[in-house]
Structure 1
Amino acid sequence: MNRQPLVTCLASALCAFAVSPAIAQRVDYANSFDQALAGVFEAREKDWRDGAVVYQVYVDRFAPSANLDAKRALYPAPKRLHAWTDLPTHGVYLPEAKVWSHEIDFWGGDLQSLRGKLDYIQGLGADVLYLNPIDLAYTNHKYDTLDYRAVSPEYGTRDDARALARDVHARGMKIMLDGVFNHMGRNSPIFRQAEADPHSKYRDWFVFGPQYAGGARAWALAENLPELNLENPAVRDDLFNGHDSIVRGWLRDGMDGWRLDVAFDIGFKVLGELTQAAHDEKPGSLVVGEIANFPKEWYPSVDGLIHFTLRQVILGVAGGRIDAATGQQMIARIVQDADYEHILKSWVYLDNHDTVRLATALPDPAQRRLAQVLQFTLPGSPNLYYGTELDMPGGDDPEMRAPMRWDLVKADNPVLNWNKRLVALHKDNRALRVGNYRAITASKLIGFERYTDRAADTVVVLLNPSDMPVTDTVLVANSKLMDGTRMVNLLADKADPAALADTRLFAALMHLTLPAHGFAVLKPDVAPPGGYTNYKRVQ
């Protein structure tokens, strides 16, 4: 066969069509695929909300006040002020106050003391500081708002909040508040007025009736938390629509977004209005909803949500209650059924102020590590609850709200260093921050890849949630990963003989063994030593 004419012909795109329409069709497909991805990842990288690392602080319990004696008058009986070394315990119900005694136990943390710990938070690698409610309220948790526009005096003043926001921004970070807009506290002046006077202008701000315990509709039947009537336009104007509304005012004060308490109770329509108002006031602000439901239809009513379902799947897989195959299917379904741009803005959490702490939920360190690898590699924004990076334990409310263990913050703390390593892994890898998701075909392992328009960015994640070593052959369906590529384990630990060594990809397949509760986070070596790479024409 005379090869020269064919080579000459293939040099021409037009001739390529003539010689092989099928080849030309494949070239067109490859080009269109790359064009479809062009600019997508760059746009995501410019949006601080995508894949951000979030650090959550419960202000009363995070950092001890520098001058606690000067504040003691702010905690009158039946409130109690504890020593920082005390642990919270379940109390008794106080019928007159309509709260549990542990809801009004305090440890004295405030915004000023928090400002003194920003070096620590930044040192972890956090991009976003999220505060549990700081508005004026009777309890320590502040979910019973008395005045949305004021800061609880135990925490400081609104000027203190503005100063905190300035300090956070000076470090290149963002700050978010907790918005409790479904209900208020029963001692709020407007509720008291509405309750006492049927002709009050605030009467229709709540829902009264003899069918309700205490006379008013309350969230989850908690009489201390009367629900706002969000169908009333005046309520929505005060909360978020009006120029001087609560949502807009705090954004003007320097806050960058809102985490919305019990957002599933607020509903699609009102959430959509609130999110739009926040974006109108501060373009690029973030609204994240506490939504325990399946995520699919809650976007774009919110920018992102707190991943309740994903948390349950991760803990179930890591704890051995969900097998690998089922966990793989569940994760893929959660990601694929929801709008991906919003998935990247959603928070992947393993514990918070409402759940048992991770160290208590998964007492086995190996299971915890596996869960955290999933948290920091799946699409979304990893959310660290203060103290989780130190393996602080804590059971049900109020045990999970113990004061921060600053005595454990040491340079040689292996748990702290492991968490810093995970944060760095997430932030240093473009695909983990803003990349797409694709499930890996496996029979015994959980596996997925995060990928962008560049082969070098690809990260392949494989996990063995079982309590026995597992050997499996997996298919990585990434057309840009070249045959024979060495896959480097980013979490390999030379001090750990069980750590998976680097492996190779042959014809899109990898054959490997993972130890019990083992994992591998692999990245292709696209520039091996020696001067030759088969990635020279594949980017």
Structure 2
Amino acid sequence: MTDAHPSPSYANERDRALAGQYERREADWRMGAVVYQAIVDRFAPATDLEAKRHLYPAPKTLRAWEETPVKGSYVEEVRVYSHEINFWGGDLASLRARLDHVVGLGVDVLYLNPICSSYTNHGYDAINYLEIAPWYGTRSDVAELADDLHDRGLKLVLDGVFNHLGRANPLFVEAASGPESLHRDWFDFGDQYPGGARSWMLAQNLPELVHENHAVTNYLWGRPDSVVRSYLRDGVDGWRLDVASDLGFRYLEDLTNAAHTEKPGSLTVGEIAPYGAEWNGPLDGVLSWNLRRILVETANGRLASGHAQRILARLFADGEYEHLLMSWVFVDNHDTPRLPDAVPDEAAQRLARVLQFTLPGSPNVYYGAEVGMTGGEDPEMRAPMRWDLLTEDNPWYAFTRALIGLRSQHRALRVGDLRWLDTEGLIGFERYTDHAADAVVVLVNPCEEPVTELVQLPDSKLMFTLVDALAPDRVIAPIQGMMEITLAPHECLVLVPRTQEPGGYSATKRVQ
């Protein structure tokens, strides 16, 4: 006998066209990942600092972990500022000893600021790309770190500084020796430049490379034994590219292709200062300064709600969406004041974090943000990790874990699409997939006064009662596709469906 009621498919035509899309995104570790950023020197103190002291010869200085970095004076002898050669002694071994903390946060990726051989503490002045700074360890230590992370389900991304290197790099020293030197055409020499060679932002310690020279690009990423490809073979999973827009579209595309050839599924994400839309494609993703400024200015009340939502909507409409999911979203890092210094109001800081973790992309957590570390302009924001603040009653620690937990629990926040809500005083959007129960509705009030609005839900499947994932006692029942919302100044809602009403009833029993 034939079953008169075969098992139905509750997907509509739109959903059937999306079959498999979100599953494919979920299978790509680069999309929607949570990234933890650490400066190795400042993350965890080495077990025996005295045994390492010889690695920091004068004028370098090894500081006590409890000291706070302060801006220094220019050291003409080495053409850097004194705070660039103050060290705190962290290394790859001490970082590995603290991996339980990183894993316990629930992040997906560990990103390290430059670790290759350099003169300064920040490492953006490479002396030898293919060697690790001796105060950090060796290439074997990097491979072992990658293995540790992979065993724990995490990926490793390194900082690639390929626009410029350090003045003490033997390649530059040889090139500067005279017009007939072997590497002369790797750099742009001329009397018009301070220090005699074109350098990044006129910093004489950072001479720029001439990428139009094929020997340069072959060395950096073209050859199988190049910098980019050899580290990928060592177990590294991707590269965050410093000042990527300085390299230009063509060379970023070449670098990305080389990385993918060496390791399919590896990541290139580039630091982009201008508007980022066109940089997606040559890169897998961008680290957008423009987006960071929008979030900080919105939190500080310098962008009105409607204006902020319009420019956010344009930013996400202009970029290719799956590249946006691979892009890193940051509100503070090693080049900015930490969030409490950039956004003084604590509720506004929470608003910035909520947007960082719910908009499309991969949120970048700068070490210490999870415990509420403060720090102003360079070098204050690069202070050693405050392990003394890591306590269960630290509200920022609880809040950061809650935001990371939201992303692990709600796949729409990781790989879902984006739909903007029609609002006036609030900023609102929905992250969604082809399943109604995945929906996440985000509403924030960046204003200095309470806002009450009737908000339309332009989602045909949202027949649920909605619960605030950050405050589960707050329940909102949409009526005929609309919600009446009142938010206090800087208050945030992250609404998720309550799929089963008391008694087990579900209005979506026949909706995917």
Q: What is the TM-score normalised by the length of structure 2?
A: 0.97
Q: CA RMSD in A?
A: 1.1
Asked if 1:243 is matched to 2:224, the reply is yes
Aligned 1:184-333 pairs, distance under 5 A:
184-333=165-314
| 1:48 counterpart SS class | coil
Deviation at 1:317, TM superposition (A): 1.1
Q: Do 2:305 and 2:446's aligned partners in 1 also have CA atoms closer than 8 Å? A: yes
How many angstroms apart in 2 are the aligned matches of 1:160 and 1:403?
21
Taking the aligned partners of 1:272 and 1:35, their CA distance within structure 2 comes to 34
2:4 is equivalent to residue 47 of structure 1: no
Q: Which amino acid aligns with 2:175?
A: A
Give the secondary-structure state (helix, strand or coil) at the position aligned to 1:521.
Answer: strand
Aligned position for 2:341: 360
**Residue number in structure 2 paired with 1:7:** none
Question: Which of the numbers 161, 165, 173 marks the counterpart of 1:180?
Answer: 161
Letter in structure 2 aligned against 1:535: T
Assess if the C-alpha contact under 8 Å between 2:425 and 2:447 holds in 1: no
Secondary structure of 2:131 counterpart? strand
Stretch moving more, 329-338 or 253-262: 329-338
Equivalent in the alignment of 2:502: 529
Q: Post-superposition shift, 1:162?
A: 1.2
Partner-residue secondary structure (3-state), 2:405 = helix
**Cα-to-partner distance string for 1:404-460 (whole Å, 9 max, x where unaligned):** 000111122221111111110122101000000010011211000000000000000
> Which structure is larger by alpha-carbon Rg, 1 or 2?
1
Q: Which residue of 2 aligns with 1:511?
A: 484
Deviation at 1:198, TM superposition (A): 1.7
Which has the higher mean CA deviation after the structures are superposed, 155-164 or 265-274?
Answer: 155-164
- Say if 2:221 and 2:258, in contact at 8 Å, map to a contact too: yes
1:31 deviates by 4.0
Residues in 2 aligned to 1:142 and 1:330: alpha-carbon distance in whole angstroms: 35
Q: 1:38 aligns with which of 12, 19, 35?
A: 19
How many angstroms apart in 2 are the aligned matches of 1:87 and 1:120?
A: 22
Q: Which residue of 2 aligns with 1:115?
A: 96
Q: Which secondary structure state, in structure 1, belongs to the residue aligned with residue 477 of structure 2?
A: strand
Match of 1:453 in 2: 434
Q: Please tell me the residue identity of whatever aligns with 2:504.
A: G
**2:73 counterpart letter in structure 1:** V
AA in 2 matched with 1:534? A
CA-CA distance at 1:200 after TM superposition: 2.1
> Of residues 369, 386, 404 in structure 1, which corresponds to 2:385?
404
CA deviation profile, 1:177-209 (whole Å, cap 9, x unmatched):
000000010111110101103222211111111
- Quote the offset at 1:493 in angstroms: 6.0
Match for 1:516: what amino acid? P
Alpha-carbon distance in structure 1 between the residues aligned to 2:247 and 2:391:
42
Matched, 1:74 2:55: yes
Greater mean deviation of Cα atoms: 507-516 or 525-534: 525-534
Instruction: Map Cα deviations across residues 105-162 of structure 1 (whole Å, 9 max, x no partner).
Output: 0000000000001000000111000000000000000000000000000111111111
Q: Is the 8 A contact 2:42 2:383 kept in 1?
A: yes
User: 3-state SS of the aligned residue for 1:238?
Assistant: helix
Greater mean alpha carbon deviation, residues 82-91 or residues 358-367: 358-367
Task: State the SS of the aligned residue for 1:473.
Answer: strand
Q: Is 405-414 or 428-437 further displaced after alignment?
A: 405-414
**In the alignment, is residue 96 of structure 1 matched against residue 96 of structure 2?**
no
SS in structure 2 at match of 1:160: helix
Cα distance in 2, alignment partners of residues 161 and 296 from structure 1: 33
**Inter-partner Cα distance in structure 2 for 1:69 and 1:63:** 15
Structure 2 CA distance, aligned partners of 1:281 and 1:262?
23
Match of 1:369 in 2: 350
Distance 1:526 1:329 in 2: 32
Q: Which runs of 5+ in 2 are unaligned?
A: 6-10
Equivalent of 1:487 in 466, 482, 492: 466
Secondary structure of the residue aligned to 1:450 is strand
Structure 1 residue identity aligned to 2:421: I
What is the alpha-carbon distance in structure 2 between the residues aligned to residue 230 and residue 371 of structure 1? 38
3-state SS of 2:272 partner: coil
Give how far 1:527 is off: 2.2
Q: Which residue of 2 aligns with 1:137?
A: 118
Q: Distance in 1 between matches of 2:331 and 2:68?
A: 22
Task: Give distance in 2, aligned partners of 1:431 and 1:324.
Answer: 24
Distance 1:412 1:33 in 2: 46
- Using the TM superposition, give the Cα deviation of residue 104 of structure 1 relative to its aligned residue in structure 2, in angstroms: 0.2
Letter in 1 for 2:156: I
CA contact (8 A) 2:198 2:207 kept: yes
The equivalent of 2:37 in structure 1 is 56
- 2:470 is paired with a residue of what secondary structure? coil
Pick the aligned partner of 2:422 from 417, 441, 444. Answer: 441
The residue type paired with residue 421 of structure 1 is: A
How far apart are the structure 1 equivalents of 2:203 and 2:298? 34
Q: Quote the Cα distance in structure 2 between the aligned partners of 1:439 and 1:204.
A: 51
Moved segments of 4+, more than 6 Å:
none
Give the partner amino acid of 2:429.
F
Q: How many residues were matched structurally?
A: 503
What SS does structure 2 have at the residue aligned with 1:290?
strand
5+ long unaligned stretches in structure 1: 1-10, 12-29, 495-500
Distance 1:416 1:423 in 2: 11
Q: Which residue of 2 aligns with 1:128?
A: 109
Preserved contact between residue 280 and residue 324 of structure 2 (Cα < 8 Å): no
Choose from 141, 150, 157 the match for 2:131. Answer: 150
Deviations 1:74-115 (A, max 9, x none): 111110110000000000001120000000000000000000
State the distance in 2 between where 1:261 and 1:113 align.
25
**Which residue of structure 2 lines up, in the alignment, with residue 166 of structure 1?**
147
- Aligned partners of 1:231, 1:421: CA distance in 2, in Å? 47
Distance 1:175 1:166 in 2: 9
Q: Distance in 2 between matches of 1:36 and 1:212?
A: 57
AA of the residue aligned to 2:23: E
Equivalents in 2 of 1:116, 1:186: separation in Å? 33
**CA-CA distance at 1:331 after TM superposition:** 1.1
CA distance in 1, matches of 2:161, 2:507: 55
CA distance in 1, matches of 2:256, 2:264: 11
The question of 1:431 aligning with 2:412 is answered yes
CA distance in 1, matches of 2:321, 2:431: 13
Q: 2:31, 2:361 within 8 Å by CA — same for their partners in 1?
A: yes
